[in-house]
Every structure is written in structure tokens, then in C-alpha cells.
């Protein structure tokens, strides 16, 4: 087993390295700013003195790598710097309360989407080319094609207009879980619809690919029941491809969250990010981008490790 | 034999395959009778429909295929009328299947023992502990190394020849009445093939199991089968006892299958002139893996050097070093006595022009999006500066040389050609450069035997016409017999033995050459028995694998 | 009641779509011949529907000024006027004609998405083919760079870059094209890799062919089919990304008529039970569905032809 742990340690190290490079990109991108950071904050009309003040305040007179390491060490200690738009307010404060909300929404949607999509994907693969398959496929293809805000507004129009669910997903402090689930239902449903379609199609493709293997034909020719062929022969080999499908789609949730939060005025990171982009509040945007990227890298890493652990070729060497 | 009870009776079997929106016939009305304990050899070239018939004998049709007509009667059960549940109870228990690629047909996620026990336990034949004991017994009978332990390995931890035997043992697990062997040794090396053939034959005899043995190799089936049936494009050609079939084939097609091995070029004696190409003390490696170890040989004009060896022997790597695709770690390649730059990118156009290559798979050797005019014309335009009408004329001339009608073929795409024709285009492309030396890399291995013979004759004719030097890479000793002047035998990156052909095919041999030569199946039903007896007598290993 | 009405409308829309698709396929089969006609006759209704929609969008985009009854940016009435004979879809928050803006939106939104996709393809496929053909350090370097860029979710990356470079149509096109070119790079490199290992490429290399010949004459003809299908899929992604950004107010900026921003500007009407703001969103969805249907059909055909 020692080589397996080494392999997993290697993947983890690679993931950390990726995150490190991502942080360089996210920080370094601001260096591409035409003109100057300080100029951008104050606009063209700013007096030279004001610009110089800001520069000193933000440490812009220091070399870029110094500023990067300052920022990075701050981040590692949970300090993302201070907001530009709301002068002096720590970015960490602004993010912290919303972080939980966004993860709540993402997990809520994932908890609905993953079982639904995997079940549908496997069923459609088993009954491929049937009428059910065609309808499910066309529906999924349509759902993929819908912009998230379209799905969201249709749901508002159909479900919120009739008063079943609130269209504004405000999250009062101290609401219990049931209340939260009720209020966040429409945004979570929107994400579920969009992600399920993607995940179902990918699951279908992965399973069909698997069912074409000679060892599946062999199991059939050994007179095994369909259920045993699927559970005993296909499923153990499907773990890796399915883990990848789930990871890709949960990562997709992160992107979807941004739009959905805006539509439903949901107090999460995505909404804050959009607001900060229009205010050009760069420290906030950097912080949120880093959090989303970290979640994304972590998801892919998890899928990678699961694939390794489910592959006997890697587990038991010759 | 004739008095035994009939086990399988197939009448007027028709099978169709889906192509786009149409159903095209694959098998058109084949009859087949198999008695208990009898082995029937099913022979045919690619596309003859033999595997499809084998699966139909289990009442199974692959996706995209359907059994459209006929009767399949197995021991009084009509398999076409049987329910899925009835078929399921037969499969694995009374009719078992051994696939061509054991490596792909074993589930990578489970140990061999779990896969062995599945059928006997699930069909209620025996308990798990009984089945495990039984498996060890069968593994021992199949001469697998470490019979107690091998079942607890995963498929990827076991070699190809051993997997194929483990699959045969698995097929035997319920002591079926019938086993379908679908080309079980085709993917194996010739020295590994022997042990699998011997093991299969023994076990089938021992349990009195009836079998359908599917293969494209006559000599192999002669060792295994009581009767042989020959198929051609989904039709039955003829059927007879093995002895009768070998001694007196009736049908022209069957005779032509025999005749293939008759081609033999004229003997030339030893080379006297200077070699065109020489390899001098070449060693090469892929990263840390050493694949060539100090090999040297010469290739002369108007002569063919056959480089023969099994997979992993380094024969194709030698060609890669020659062409400059893999610079050697030591040694040099000489052309006309002068050293060539080790990397092809440093070679001059003239040096590149004189060393051409013909590939094994014509399908991947010709760009599917270019017409023959472009494929053949490009080297002529590039090396010889031909343009316009002169170029067209040259392409037409080359097409005539390879015996294809220019007007009909010049603007076709490779997909509009048969396998043999594609290989001819590969030859024409090599000739277009007007080279002095051609590497032929297993050029006939992917072709049916009759087509292969035509290619060999063509290469022979072109050699004398253009004074070409050939390096012929092959694993097939019959091909070596047919075309070689000199032979180089390779094993694990080393040259085991080399010399003119007459010397190589007459004793005394190096032990490996002996093993290789004696492992080639002969058209004699007693060959395998004799060989095994002889090896036991001499105390030689039964195969290279152990 | 709303729920019931919704399903009734859905059924009507699907029925009309099927009829239109059927009709379009009949007409298309009648006016074409040969291989094309065979392909069209066997096309599923979904693909026929997709082709019809793409065709209509093209016509509208090209003829926008002739079709639209009012100018794109002019205030022609009071705000949020209801549907009427004069203003078919009413007016927007500023009093501009909704129907005319929808028509011009076809040109702007689709045009910008198309230009972006084309640019992404140019960048991605050139580098992808180069990486696969040349291999070695160039391949390693480019692939690692792309790996890292893809480790940041695309919309998030786009938002970061737009914060820095500001929101204008040109930066929007550049930013989305660069981010999306990483996906094109991956695909074209993978497809080209499959071609590069073929013996005919080895034969061409051994013949002494140069890089340009190898890529343009030997590799490109063999990768166009999957790349064209990918172009369709990429277009959908780009189109949706740009619409999402516009909807967030960070994409195509007013007063340019654009479907994403039109949804945003008029979203308040939805809470009053007016479906007008859903129309531009529906227009986006419809085109994406159409392209996906056609691509799906093409991919199915390509996989079927191989056997």
C-alpha cells in the first residue's frame, strides 16, 4: 500500500502547486492593469497627491514580488486585505458571512442533483435508443442550452408567482434549517435543473462506454443476470469515470451560483463578486476568485484520488 | 463419432448486421452439426462471419446484429425460441465461451478466482469452497504456474498466455457440454501459443467436452479439431474430417488456402558485393528501458534480410533506429559505408529518399483524406522535382507497377480500396522516391493469406526490377521461408543467430531458434502431439513462458 | 393555474416546433440532392428544427434594419408600455421599442458571440495543433499553462479579468476568447494527437516534410470534422457566458441592444406577471438548443460512419 499513499501524496502536492500558481495568476493579473491600480481606484480626475497617497497606503511603491508574498502570507492567515470600495473594511469580514450561504446553496443543489442525475444517467444508458432515452436526451440537451437566468425566471414565473415559494431568497440571521431550505429552494432547484442535465448526459456516455467492454459481454455469456452484470461487473469499473463526471459538474455549480445568486438576490459570494466587479473592488474580487478556484481544484483532486483508489491496476502492481 | 448423440444442430442460420439504416447479411444460411465430445474447427478469413456464428451457438447476437432466420437447436432446446431466462441458465453452465483477448475479457476489478467461481456458484452447480478447490485443480491441469496462488491475483498481474489458460479453466468450471473457442491463441506469440493449444486440447479431451474452435489458421485447427468447416463471406464452402480436408480439399477456395504457403523465391547464394545498409553495434533504449543490445547486420542490394522475433524482441526498434526515429545510445548506421546522422531530422533529403518504409497497417499508413494521386505523387514531386503532366504520368506508371489500373484508381481515396490494394499503395509510395533500400514492417501480417501472397510476389518482382535492398520485419516464419535471403533471429533485444536462409533452417540451431522454428504449427494433425513428446524426451521446456 | 397554463403552453410550443421541423425537412430535402439530400432525409426532427432556427436567426441578423420597425437606440414611447399594434412587444424601461431591440439583439449578441468563438478557435487550434505536432517542451509548456488557466472556473476568471480591464465590447471579446481558447486547445491537441501517432504522419516526417506542410496538408484535413462539431459546442458556451455576463451588467453595455442586458433591464416586469423579459432569454435558449441539436446529430453521424 505504500506506493498508493505516495501516489496520493504526489497528487496532493500537485494540487497545492496548482493552487500556488493560480494564486500567482490571480494576484499577477492586476499587474496587467493599464496605468496604475491607484489611478484605477480614483479615476482620471484624481490629483497626483491623492494617487501618491493611495499608492503608499496600498504599498504600491514596493516591488511586485514583495507585495505578492505579503498578500499570500496574509491569505494563509485568513487576511485578504482591505476593501477599496468600502475603505478600510477587512475583506475577510465581508466574505465570511456569505461564504457559508454560498456553500449551503451549492451543497443543497448538489444533494438534489447528484442522485437524480446518476440514477437518470444509468437508466438512460441501460435503455439506450428507447423512446425514454430520446426524450430524456432531448430534454437534457435543451436544459443545457438554457441560460441559468432563463431557468430561474421561468421558475419564478411559474412557482413564485403562484406564491408557492419566495422569489427573493433573503436569509434572515438565526433562521432554522427548515426555513433556510424553504427560502433557498428556488435557487437550488435552478442549479439542480441545469447541472442535472449535464451530469446525466456525461453519466450516460460513461456507462455506455463501459457496457461495450469485452468483459461485460463475457459476464453476459457466463449467464449472469442483468442486475449482477451492472452491479458486480460494471459498477466497480464505473467509479472512476463517475467520480470525474460528478467533480466536473460540481465545479460547474460554482459558476452557476454566481448568476443564480444575482437573480434571487441571495446573499452569497457570487453576488458580492458581481457587485465588486462593477465597483472594481480588486481585493474582494481576488479573494473570491481564489476561494472559488480553491474549491474547484479541491474537487478535481478528490475525483483524482477516488479514481486512483478504485483502480486495481494502480492499487495492486505486478 | 457419427454414432454419438447430436448436441448442437444449426440449420439455415442467417445473421444480419446494421450498417447505417440498413441491415446487411453477415451469415447467409449456414448449417452445422456437432455431436457430443466432438471438436469442430471453423475456419475463415476476416469477415467470414465465424465469430458471429460462434456466438449464435449460444443464442447470442452482439449489439447491431440480429439472427434473422434459421434454427439453432442445442440438445433439444430451440435457442431462438428460448426466453432470455432460459438462455441465461444455459450460458456459462452448459455452453461456455473463451474469447480472443483474455486481457480484455477478464474484469479488471476482480481477482481471477472470483471470476472463476461466479458461474458455478451463481448457476448453483457447487459451493464457493468447492469451486475454489476445483479451480486450483483445473489451474494445475492447465499447467499454470503456482496453481494455488494464481487465482488470488488480478488479471493485470498475469501474463497473456496464462490469462488465456485461466479463461479456458473458467469456461470449464461448470463442466459444460459445449465450449466456443473464439480465436483463443491469435493474440499470442508463437512460442506461447503452443502451451495454450496443448492445455486446451488436453482438457477438452479429458472432460469429453464438445467444442467449436474458431480460427483463421489452418495449421492450428488441424491440431485441435475432428472436423473442419470452411467459411467464406458468410457462406459455407466445404466441410470434412480433418484428415480428409488436409489431404484432399475439394473446393477451389480451400485449395487456394493451402497453396499460399507454396510461394518461394529463387535461392541466391551468399552476398558478394558491399552492403547498402549496415547496423554496427547498435544499442538503444526507451528512457531507462533497454530495447536493443549491441546488434549488427548488413543488408545488400537485391537481397532480403528477414528480421524475425516475437513481440518485445526489438525487431521494430531496429527499424526505428535505421530510419532515425530513435537515435541509438551506441553504435552507428552506415549507408554505402558512410555513417548516417542518428536523428532523421539531421539527415539530408537524399539520405531520407534512399531509405523508404512500408507499414504493417495500410489503414493507418495512408492519409484517409488524400487521393492516391497526392499520396503517391508527393514523394516524386518532393525528391525528384516532378510537376504537372510529368508527375501525373509518373503516378500512373507507379500504379501500373503495382498492378492497379491508373484511370480507375488515381483519384480514389484510400477508403475506396481493399486491404491488399491499400498495401500496394504503400509500396507505390515507397517506390515513388526511387529508393535503394526499403524496410517492410510486418507488411503481410494484417492481410488474409491469399492477398498476402500476392503482396510477397509483387515485392519480389520489384526487388529484381529495381535492385532494391529489403529489410523484412516479421514474426511469421512461413513468410521468412518464402522471401528471405538472409535471416536475423532476435530475442529480448539481442541477435540470437544470423546467417543465410538455408543455414538458418537446417540444424544445428541455437536453442531459441530451435524453439521458435519448432513452435510454428504445421499442416499435420499429429504435429502438436509429436512436438510435445519430442520436447519431453529432450527435457526441453514446453514453452518460453515458464 | 399558472402551473397548468405553463404546461399547456409548453405542449403547444413543442407541437408547433415538431410541425415546423417536419415541414423544414420536407422543403430542405426537396431543394437539395445527392449526399446532402440523403443526410437530410435521415436527419432526426430535432436536427431539422435546429437547422430551421439557425436559418431564421441568420436571416434576421442580416436583415435587421429592414425588419425592425423602430431604430435600435431611440426612445419612441413612454416606459414599460404594454403590447400593442404599434409596439408589438411594448417598450422597455427607457421607452425603446422591445420588438426592434430584439431584432437588433440578434445581430449584436449572436455576432459578438460568433466573433469571440472564432477568435477562441483561431488561438486554441493553432496552438493545439502546434503542441501536438511539435511535441517536446513546447507541448509540455503550453499544456501546463492551460492546465493552470483551467484550474480557475471560466466565469470567475472572466469576472477577474473584466474587473481589471474594464467592460467594453473589445475587452469582453478578448477575455472570453482567451479563456475559451484553453478548452479549444485541449480538444484540438487531443484530436491532433490521435492523428499524429498515425503511420502516415511518421512517413511524412521521414520524407523530410516541414512543419507547415505537416499541419496544413496531413493533419488539418483529418481534424476538421471534430473541430467543426466543437465549434458548435463552443459557440453555445461562449454565447451563454456572454449572455450571463451581460445579464450581470458586466458584458455588452447599453445602449447596444443585447438579449442578456435586456433581461436584466426589464426583469422587474416578471414579478408583475409580464413575460416580456423572458422573451430575450428565450431567444438565447432557442438558438443554443438549435445549435446543440445540430451538433448532436453531426456527432452521432460521425460516430455512426466509423463503424
How is B58-99 classified by DSSP, letter by letter? TT---TTEEEEEEEEEETTEETTTS-HHHHHHHBTTTEEEE-
Instruction: Tell me the C-alpha distance between B519 and B508, whole Å.
Output: 16
Closest-CA distance, C48 to chain A, in angstroms, reads 13
Q: Does C171 touch chain B (CB under 8 A)?
A: no
| Confidence at residue C41, expressed as pLDDT on a 0 to 100 scale | 82
Work out the minimum CA distance from C25 to partner chain A, whole angstroms: 18
Position of cell 436584466?
A: C264
CB contact under 8 A, A156 and C271: yes
Chains in contact with A, counting 3 or more C-beta pairs less than 8 Å apart as contact = B, C
Cβ–Cβ under 8 Å, residues B87 and B59? yes
Distance (Å, whole) CA A144 – CA A198: 6
How many pairs of residues across A and B have Cβ atoms under 8 Å apart?
75
A224·B118 Cβ contact <8 A: yes
Which residues in chain A have their CB less than 8 angstroms from residue B104's CB? 213-215
Provide the CA C49 distance to its chain's centre, in angstroms. Answer: 16
B413 touches chain C (CB under 8 A): no
Task: Tell me which residues of chain B, numbers 186 to 215, contact chain C at a CB-CB cutoff of 8 Å.
Answer: none
Do the Cβ atoms of B40 and B212 come closer than 8 Å? Answer: yes
Which cell is A27 given? 494576484
3-state secondary structure of B448: coil
Q: Is residue B356 a contact partner of residue B433, using CB atoms and an 8 Å limit?
A: yes
Contact B55, B49 (CB under 8 A): no
Distance of CA C12 to the CA centre of its chain: 26
Q: What fold characterizes domain C72-303?
A: MetI-like fold (1.10.3720)
| Contact map slice: B 358-387 vs C, CB within 8 A | 359, 361, 364-370, 378-379, 382
Distance, in Å, from the CA atom of C245 to the CA atom of A191, rounded to the nearest integer, reads: 17
The C-alpha atoms of residue C8 and residue C136 are separated, in whole angstroms, by: 59
For A130, the domain range is: 94-279
Assigned C-alpha cell, A141: 440537451
Residue B70 Cα distances to B52, B66, B67, B88, C230, angstroms: 14, 12, 8, 21, 46
- Residue A41's pLDDT is 63
Report the C-alpha gap between C223 and C219 in whole angstroms: 7
Interface of A with B (CB under 8 A): 212-215, 217-225, 228, 232-233, 236-237, 312-313, 316-318
What is the torsion angle, in degrees rounded to the nearest 10, for the CA atoms of residue C131, residue C132, residue C136 and residue C142?
Answer: 30
DSSP string, B473-501: EES-HHHHHHH-SEEEEEETTEEEEEEEH
Q: Which helix (H) or strand (E) holds B503?
A: helix B501-504
Whether the CB-CB separation of A258 and C159 falls below 8 Å is answered with: yes
Is B277-505 the same fold as B6-258? yes
Sheet containing B330-335: which strands, arranged edge to edge? B289-299, B277-286, B330-335, B338-339
Which residue of chain A has the CA closest to C1?
A162
Q: How far is CA C31 from the centre of its chain?
A: 27
CA distances from C194 to B120, C232, C303 (A): 43, 21, 15
Q: Which residues of C touch A280 (CB under 8 A)?
A: 163, 166
Specify the pLDDT at position B438: 96
Long-range contacts from B144-148, C-beta under 8 angstroms, 24+ separation: B144/B169, B145/B546
B343, closest residue in chain C (CA to CA): C206
Per-residue DSSP letter, C274: -
For residue B95, give how far its alpha carbon lies from the nearest alpha carbon of chain C (Å). Answer: 29
Residue A212 is part of a domain; what is its CATH number?
1.10.3720.10
pLDDT at B546: 41
Taking the CA of residue A178 and the nearest CA in chain C, the distance in Å comes to 24
Q: Where are the domains of chain B?
A: 6-258, 277-505
Give chain B's count of helices (H) and strands (E): 22, 20
Q: Least CB-CB distance to C200: which of B355, B366, B382?
A: B366
DSSP B267-316: P--S--S--SEEEEEEEEEETTEEEEEEEEEEE-TT-EEEEE--TTSSHH
- C221 touching B (Cβ < 8 Å): yes
Nearest CA to CA, how far is C220 from chain B (Å)?
Answer: 10
Q: What is the assigned CATH class of domain B277-505? A: alpha beta
Written as nine digits, the cell of A83 is 476593501
pLDDT at A251: 79
DSSP code, position B225: -
Per-residue pLDDT of chain A in tens (318 residues, 90 and over written 9): 678 888 889 889 988 999 999 999 888 887 776 555 666 666 666 777 777 777 776 666 777 788 888 888 888 888 888 887 777 788 888 898 889 899 899 999 999 999 999 999 988 888 877 888 888 888 888 888 888 899 888 888 888 767 777 777 677 767 788 888 888 899 999 999 989 988 998 888 888 888 889 999 999 999 999 889 988 999 889 888 888 888 888 877 877 889 999 999 899 999 999 988 888 788 888 899 999 999 888 888 898 888 888 888 877 766
Tell me which residue in B58, B89, B107 faces A221 most closely, judged by beta carbons: B58
Q: Decide if C293 and A141 are in contact by the 8 Å CB cutoff.
A: yes
Establish if A241 belongs to a structural domain.
Answer: yes
Q: From CA C299, how far away is CA A300, in angstroms rounded?
A: 27
Phi and psi at C69, nearest 5°, equal -75, -25
Please check whether residue C70 is in contact with residue C97, taking contact to mean a CB–CB distance below 8 angstroms: yes
Report the DSSP beta bridge partners of residue B71: B11
pLDDT averaged per 10 residues in sequence order, chain C, 307 residues: 77 88 87 79 86 92 85 79 79 83 90 94 95 92 90 88 84 93 93 92 93 93 87 91 90 85 85 83 91 86 54
Q: Which of B361, B369, B379 sits opposite C199 (nearest CB)?
A: B361
**Closest-CA residue of chain B to A212:** B63
How many domains is chain A built from? 1
Cis-peptide, bond into residue C255, ω within 30° of zero: yes
Q: Which of A19, A263, A277 is opposite residue C162, by nearest beta carbon?
A: A277
Q: What is the pLDDT of residue C307?
A: 33
Q: Do A162 and C3 touch (CB under 8 A)?
A: yes
Q: Which of C43, C22, C290 is nearest to A138 (CA)?
A: C290
Helix (H, G, I), strand (E, B) or coil at B214: strand
Q: How far is C237 from chain A (nearest CA, A)?
A: 9
Say what the pTM is.
Answer: 0.85
- C307 at B interface, C-beta within 8 A: yes
The bridge status of strand B235-241 relative to strand B227-232 is antiparallel
**pLDDT, tens digit only, all 546 positions of chain B:** 556 788 999 999 999 988 766 788 889 889 999 999 899 999 888 777 888 999 999 999 988 889 999 999 999 899 999 999 999 999 999 999 999 888 899 999 999 999 999 999 999 999 999 999 999 999 998 888 899 999 999 999 988 889 998 999 999 999 999 999 998 888 788 888 888 898 888 888 899 899 999 988 888 888 999 999 999 888 888 999 988 888 888 888 888 777 656 677 777 777 778 899 999 999 999 888 889 999 999 999 999 999 998 888 889 999 999 999 999 999 999 999 899 999 999 999 999 999 999 998 888 999 999 999 999 999 999 999 999 999 999 999 999 999 999 999 999 999 888 888 999 999 999 999 999 999 999 998 888 778 888 899 999 999 999 999 999 999 888 888 888 999 999 999 999 999 888 888 887 788 888 888 888 888 888 888 888 888 888 776 555 444
Radius of gyration of chain A from its Cα atoms, rounded to whole angstroms? 24
Residue with cell 493552470: C148
Q: Where are the alpha helices (DSSP H) in B344-443?
A: 349-354, 362-365, 372-384, 388-401, 406-409, 419-432
B234-to-B26, B231, C130 alpha-carbon distances in Å: 5, 6, 46
Specify the residue for cell string 432554522: A176
Amino acid A70: pLDDT: 86
C99 sits in which H/E element? helix C98-105
Instruction: Give the length of chain A.
Output: 318
Q: Look at residue A231 and tell me if it is in a domain.
A: yes
Which of B105, B125, B163, B171 to mutate to test binding with chain A, by most A CBs within 10 Å of its CB? B105
Which residue from B344, B369, B378 is facing C221, i.e. has the nearest CB?
B369
**3 state DSSP class of C97:** strand
CB-closest option in C203, C207, C218 to B365: C203
CB contacts under 8 A, B 50-79 vs A, are 55, 58, 60, 62-63
Residue of C nearest to A273 (CA): C159
B350 in contact with C at a CB cutoff of 8 Å?
no
- Nearest chain A CA: its distance from B308 CA (Å): 29
For chains A and C, CB pairs below 8 A equal 151
Of B357, B369, B378, the CB nearest to C206: B357
How far away is chain A from the Cα of C213, in angstroms, using its nearest Cα?
35
C-beta of residue A290 within 8 angstroms of C-beta of residue A22: yes
Cell numbers placing B295: 546488434
User: What does residue B403 show for φ and ψ, rounded to 5 degrees?
Assistant: 65, 40
CATH code for the domain defined by B6-258: 3.40.50.300
Phi, psi of B387 (to 5 degrees): -135, 160
CA C81/CA C76 separation, integer angstroms: 10
Cα separation of B513 and B496, whole Å? 8
What residues contact residue B248 under an 8 Å CB cut-off, 6+ apart?
none
Contact A113, A195 (CB under 8 A): yes
Distances in Å between the Cα of B265 and the Cα atoms of B464, B475, B514, B521, C147 are: 11, 19, 23, 22, 57
Q: Angle CA(B181)–CA(B187)–CA(B117) in degrees, nearest 5? A: 50
CB-CB: which of B324, B364, B367 is closest to C218? B367
Which residue is it, cell 456527432? C299
Q: pLDDT of C161-220, one tens digit each? A: 888 887 788 999 999 999 999 999 999 999 999 999 999 999 999 999 999 999 999 999
Nearest to B139 by CA among B150, B130, B123, B155: B150
d(CA B7, CA B40): 12
Amino acid at each position: 500500500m505504500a506506493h498508493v499513499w505516495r501516489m496520493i501524496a504526489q497528487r496532493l502536492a500537485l494540487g497545492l502547486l496548482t493552487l500556488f500558481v493560480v494564486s500567482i495568476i490571480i494576484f499577477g493579473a492586476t499587474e496587467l492593469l493599464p496605468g496604475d491600480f491607484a489611478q484605477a481606484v480614483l479615476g482620471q480626475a484624481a490629483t497626483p497627491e491623492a494617487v501618491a497617497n493611495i499608492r503608499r497606503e496600498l504599498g504600491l511603491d514596493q516591488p511586485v514580488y514583495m507585495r505578492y508574498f505579503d498578500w499570500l502570507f496574509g491569505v494563509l492567515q485568513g487576511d485578504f486585505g482591505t476593501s477599496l470600495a468600502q475603505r478600510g473594511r477587512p475583506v475577510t469580514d465581508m466574505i465570511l458571512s456569505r461564504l457559508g450561504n454560498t456553500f449551503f446553496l451549492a451543497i443543497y443543489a448538489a444533494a438534489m442533483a447528484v442522485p437524480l442525475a446518476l440514477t437518470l444517467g444509468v437508466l438512460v444508458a441501460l435503455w439506450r435508443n428507447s423512446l425514454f432515452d430520446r426524450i430524456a436526451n432531448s430534454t437534457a440537451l435543451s436544459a443545457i442550452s438554457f441560460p441559468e437566468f432563463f431557468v430561474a425566471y421561468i421558475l419564478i414565473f411559474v412557482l413564485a408567482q403562484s406564491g408557492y415559494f419566495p422569489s427573493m431568497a433573503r436569509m434572515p440571521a438565526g433562521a432554522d434549517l427548515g426555513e433556510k431550505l424553504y427560502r433557498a429552494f428556488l435557487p437550488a432547484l435552478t442549479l439542480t435543473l441545469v447541472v442535472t442535465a449535464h451530469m446525466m448526459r456525461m453519466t450516460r456516455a460513461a456507462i455506455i462506454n463501459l457496457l461495450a467492454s469485452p468483459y461485460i459481454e463475457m459476464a453476459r455469456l457466463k449467464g449472469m443476470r442483468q442486475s449482477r452484470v451492472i452491479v458486480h461487473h460494471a459498477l466497480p469499473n464505473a467509479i472512476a469515470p463517475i467520480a470525474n463526471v460528478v467533480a466536473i459538474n460540481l465545479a460547474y455549480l460554482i459558476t452557476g451560483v454566481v448568476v443564480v445568486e444575482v437573480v434571487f438576490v441571495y446573499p452569497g459570494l457570487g453576488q458580492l463578486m458581481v457587485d465588486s466587479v462593477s465597483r472594481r473592488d480588486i481585493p474582494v474580487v481576488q479573494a473570491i476568485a481564489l476561494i472559488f478556484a480553491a474549491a474547484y481544484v479541491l474537487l478535481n483532486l478528490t475525483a483524482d484520488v477516488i479514481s486512483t483508489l478504485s483502480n486495481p491496476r494502480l492499487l495492486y502492481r505486478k | 463419432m457419427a454414432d454419438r448423440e447430436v448436441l448442437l444442430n444449426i440449420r439455415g442460420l442467417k445473421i444480419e448486421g446494421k450498417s447505417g439504416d440498413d441491415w446487411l447479411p453477415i451469415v447467409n444460411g449456414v448449417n452445422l452439426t456437432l455431436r457430443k465430445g466432438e471438436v469442430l474447427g471453423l475456419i475463415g478469413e476476416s469477415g467470414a462471419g465465424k465469430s458471429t456464428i460462434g456466438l449464435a451457438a449460444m443464442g447470442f447476437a452482439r449489439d447491431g446484429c440480429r439472427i434473422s432466420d434459421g434454427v439453432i437447436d442445442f440438445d433439444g432446446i430451440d435457442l431462438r425460441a428460448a426466453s432470455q431466462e432460459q438462455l441465461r441458465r444455459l450460458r456459462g453452465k452448459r455452453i461456455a465461451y473463451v474469447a480472443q483477448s483474455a486481457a480484455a475479457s477478464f474484469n479488471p476489478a476482480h481477482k481471477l478466482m472470483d471470476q472463476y467461481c461466479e458461474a458455478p456458484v451463481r448457476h448453483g452447480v457447487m459451493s464457493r469452497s468447492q469451486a475454489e478447490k476445483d479451480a486450483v485443480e483445473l489451474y494445475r491441469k492447465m499447467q499454470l504456474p503456482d496453481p494455488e496462488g494464481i487465482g488470488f491475483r488480478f488479471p493485470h498481474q498475469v501474463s497473456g498466455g496464462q490469462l488465456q489458460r485461466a479463461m479456458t479453466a473458467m469456461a470449464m468450471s461448470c463442466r459444460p457440454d459445449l465450449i466456443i473457442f473464439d480465436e483463443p491463441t491469435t493474440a499470442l506469440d508463437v512460442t506461447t501459443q503452443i502451451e495454450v493449444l496443448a492445455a486446451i486440447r488436453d482438457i477438452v479431451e479429458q472432460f469429453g467436452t464438445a467444442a467449436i474452435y474458431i480460427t483463421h489458421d489452418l495449421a492450428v485447427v488441424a491440431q485441435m479439431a475432428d472436423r473442419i468447416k470452411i467459411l467464406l463471406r458468410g457462406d459455407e464452402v466445404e466441410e470434412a474430417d480433418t484428415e480428409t480436408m488436409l489431404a484432399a480439399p475439394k473446393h477451389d477456395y480451400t485449395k487456394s488456402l493451402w497453396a499460399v504457403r507454396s510461394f518461394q523465391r529463387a535461392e541466391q547464394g551468399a552476398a558478394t558485393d558491399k552492403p547498402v545498409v549496415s547496423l554496427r553495434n547498435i544499442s538503444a533504449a526507451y528512457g531507462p528501458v533497454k530495447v536493443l543490445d549491441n546488434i549488427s547486420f548488413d543488408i545488400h542490394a537485391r537481397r532480403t534480410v528477414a528480421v524475425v522475433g516475437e513481440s518485445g524482441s526489438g525487431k521494430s526498434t531496429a527499424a526505428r533506429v535505421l530510419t532515425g526515429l530513435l537515435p541509438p545510445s551506441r553504435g552507428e548506421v552506415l549507408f554505402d559505408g558512410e555513417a548516417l546522422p542518428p536523428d532523421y531530422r539531421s539527415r539530408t533529403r537524399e539520405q531520407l529518399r534512399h531509405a523508404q518504409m512500408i507499414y504493417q497497417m495500410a489503414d493507418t499508413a495512408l492519409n484517409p483524406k488524400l487521393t492516391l494521386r497526392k499520396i503517391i505523387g508527393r514523394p516524386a514531386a518532393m525528391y525528384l522535382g516532378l510537376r504537372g503532366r510529368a508527375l501525373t504520368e509518373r503516378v500512373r506508371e507507379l500504379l501500373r507497377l503495382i498492378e492497379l489500373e491508373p484511370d480507375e484508381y488515381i483519384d480514389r481515396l484510400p477508403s475506396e480500396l481493399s486491404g491488399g490494394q491499400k498495401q500496394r499503395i504503400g509500396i507505390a509510395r515507397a517506390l515513388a522516391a526511387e529508393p535503394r533500400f526499403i524496410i517492410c514492417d510486418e507488411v503481410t501480417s494484417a492481410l488474409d493469406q491469399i492477398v498476402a501472397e500476392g503482396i510477397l510476389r509483387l515485392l519480389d518482382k520489384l526487388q529484381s526490377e529495381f535492385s532494391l535492398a529489403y529489410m523484412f520485419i516479421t514474426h511469421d516464419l512461413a513468410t521468412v521461408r518464402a522471401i528471405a535471403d538472409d535471416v536475423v533471429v532476435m530475442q529480448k533485444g539481442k541477435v540470437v543467430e544470423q546467417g543465410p536462409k538455408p543455414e538458418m533452417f537446417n540444424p544445428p540451431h541455437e536453442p531459441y531458434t530451435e524453439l521458435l522454428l519448432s513452435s510454428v504449427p504445421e499442416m499435420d494433425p499429429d504435429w502438436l502431439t509429436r512436438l510435445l513428446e519430442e520436447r519431453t524426451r529432450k527435457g526441453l521446456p514446453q514453452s518460453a513462458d515458464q | 393555474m399558472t402551473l397548468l397554463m405553463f404546461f399547456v403552453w409548453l405542449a403547444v410550443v413543442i407541437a408547433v416546433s415538431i410541425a415546423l421541423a417536419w415541414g423544414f425537412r420536407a422543403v430542405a430535402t426537396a431543394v437539395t440532392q445527392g449526399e446532402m439530400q440523403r443526410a437530410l432525409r435521415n436527419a432526426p426532427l430535432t436536427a431539422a428544427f435546429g437547422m430551421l432556427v439557425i436559418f431564421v436567426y441568420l436571416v434576421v441578423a442580416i436583415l435587421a434594419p429592414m425588419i425592425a420597425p423602430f431604430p435600435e437606440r431611440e426612445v419612441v414611447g413612454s416606459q414599460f408600455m404594454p403590447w400593442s399594434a404599434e409596439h408589438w412587444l411594448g417598450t422597455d424601461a427607457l421607452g425603446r421599442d422591445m420588438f426592434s431591440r430584439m431584432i437588433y439583439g440578434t445581430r449584436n449578441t449572436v455576432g459578438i458571440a460568433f466573433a469571440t468563438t472564432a477568435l477562441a478557435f483561431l488561438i486554441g487550434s493553432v496552438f493545439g495543433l502546434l503542441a501536438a505536432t511539435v511535441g517536446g517542451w513546447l507541448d509540455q509548456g503550453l499544456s501546463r499553462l492551460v492546465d493552470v488557466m483551467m484550474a480557475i472556473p471560466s466565469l470567475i476568471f472572466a469576472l477577474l479579468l473584466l474587473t481589471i480591464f474594464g467592460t467594453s465590447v473589445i475587452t469582453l471579446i478578448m477575455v472570453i476568447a482567451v479563456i475559451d481558447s484553453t478548452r479549444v486547445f485541449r480538444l484540438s491537441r487531443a484530436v491532433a494527437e490521435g492523428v499524429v501517432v498515425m503511420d502516415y504522419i511518421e512517413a511524412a516526417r521521414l520524407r523530410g516534410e516541414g512543419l507547415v506542410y505537416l499541419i496544413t496538408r496531413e493533419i488539418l484535413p483529418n481534424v476538421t470534422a471534430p473541430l467543426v462539431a466543437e465549434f458548435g459546442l463552443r459557440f453555445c458556451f461562449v454565447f451563454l457566458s456572454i449572455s450571463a455576463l451581460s445579464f450581470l451588467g458586466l458584458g455588452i453595455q447599453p445602449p447596444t441592444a443585447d438579449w442578456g442586458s435586456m433581461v436584466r433591464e426589464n426583469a422587474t416586469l416578471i414579478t408583475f406577471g409580464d413575460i416580456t423579459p423572458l422573451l430575450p432569454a428565450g431567444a438565447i435558449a432557442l438558438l443554443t438548443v438549435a445549435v446543440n441539436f445540430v451538433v448532436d446529430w453531426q456527432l452521432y453521424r460521425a460516430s455512426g460512419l466509423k463503424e
